């Protein structure tokens, strides 16, 4: 049994899990590379910490992927972005998807994912201003489950343009995150994210085909899965 988090956690264990969780989340002032380093340091206990926080982003993200690909899922080629230890990849496999690659900047998180043997290719890459070394029009879909929200909110438009570039026209970008960053009157820090979503739509690069709100994404907050169709 894990010595840090047991099946019936004591108050102390819950407190430790919460502390680890808040450290991983960072805040609006924490640099992206600091957060990624924290994931690396905590890769061995990431799944237990998120389990204690009742995280459901991975199941909701995979459910939406299944909804948008009702047939022939074994032929659908997916890139799981911010793949972490492979929680979303696991759920995608449970839904019948078989061709899944992983993109994740933390080598230690990727090492945990590799133990599961669920991904084909591994890209140790951070989404941002950089180009991603993947051919255009490669994937039928990109999934993103739980990309740290303070990072998501500040991602430059280039990051989304890269995802659009590597997804085939007609494919989908499926993103499970907090609901609160989507509404126009949502938190001010989410304005860059919302502007990026809209600008790419008005430039004719993608179109929003679903925004599904759900309960209990993380620590009791509502989540949402956005599904953008690449044009």
The residue ranges that bind ligand SAM (CB under 6 A) are 32, 36, 39, 57-58, 81-84, 87-88, 104-106, 109, 126-128, 145-148, 151
Q: Which residue is nearest to ligand SAM (CB)?
A: 84
Q: Which is nearer to ligand SAM, 170 or 220 (CB)?
A: 220
Sign for the pseudo-dihedral over CA of 95, 48, 105, 220 = positive
Residue 159 C-beta: closest distance to ligand SAM, Å = 7
Residue 1 C-beta: closest distance to ligand SAM, Å = 22
The β-bridge relationship of strands 221-230 and 167-178 is antiparallel
Residue 227 C-beta: closest distance to ligand SAM, Å = 16
Q: Which is nearer to ligand SAM, 120 or 169 (CB)?
A: 120
CB atoms within 10 A of CB 98: 14
Residue 185 C-beta: closest distance to ligand SAM, Å = 26
Going by C-alpha positions, the residue among 127, 122, 172 that lies closest to residue 151 is 127
Residue 225 phi, psi (nearest 5): -110, 120
Sign for the pseudo-dihedral over CA of 154, 107, 99, 87 = negative
195 Cβ contact partners less than 8 Å away, ≥ 6 residues apart: none
Residue 119 C-beta: closest distance to ligand SAM, Å = 12
Q: Which is nearer to ligand SAM, 57 or 223 (CB)?
A: 57
Q: Which is nearer to ligand SAM, 84 or 190 (CB)?
A: 84
Cα Rg of the chain, angstroms: 17
Q: Which is nearer to ligand SAM, 76 or 109 (CB)?
A: 109
């Amino acid at each position: 049994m894990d010595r840090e988090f047991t099946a019936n956690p004591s108050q102390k264990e819950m407190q430790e899990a919460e502390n680890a969780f808040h450290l991983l989340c960072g805040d609006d002032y924490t640099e992206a590379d600091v957060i990624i380093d924290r994931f690396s340091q905590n890769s061995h206990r990431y799944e237990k910490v998120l389990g204690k926080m009742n995280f459901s982003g991975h199941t909701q993200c995979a459910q939406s992927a299944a909804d948008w690909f009702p047939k022939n899922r074994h032929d659908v080629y997916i890139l799981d972005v911010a793949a972490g230890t492979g929680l979303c990849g696991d759920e995608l496999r449970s839904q019948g998807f078989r061709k899944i690659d992983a993109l994740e900047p933390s080598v230690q998180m990727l090492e945990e994912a590799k133990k599961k043997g669920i991904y084909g290719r591994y890209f140790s890459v951070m989404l941002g201003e950089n180009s991603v070394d993947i051919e255009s029009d490669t994937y039928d879909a990109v999934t993103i489950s739980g990309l740290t929200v303070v990072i998501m909110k500040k991602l430059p438009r280039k990051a989304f343009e890269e995802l659009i570039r590597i997804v085939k026209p007609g494919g989908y970008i499926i993103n499970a995150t907090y609901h609160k960053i989507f509404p126009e009157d949502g938190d001010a820090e989410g304005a860059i994210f919302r502007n990026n979503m809209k600008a790419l739509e008005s430039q004719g690069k993608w179109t929003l085909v679903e925004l599904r709100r759900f309960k209990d994404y993380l620590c009791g907050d509502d989540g949402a899965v956005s599904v953008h169709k690449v044009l």
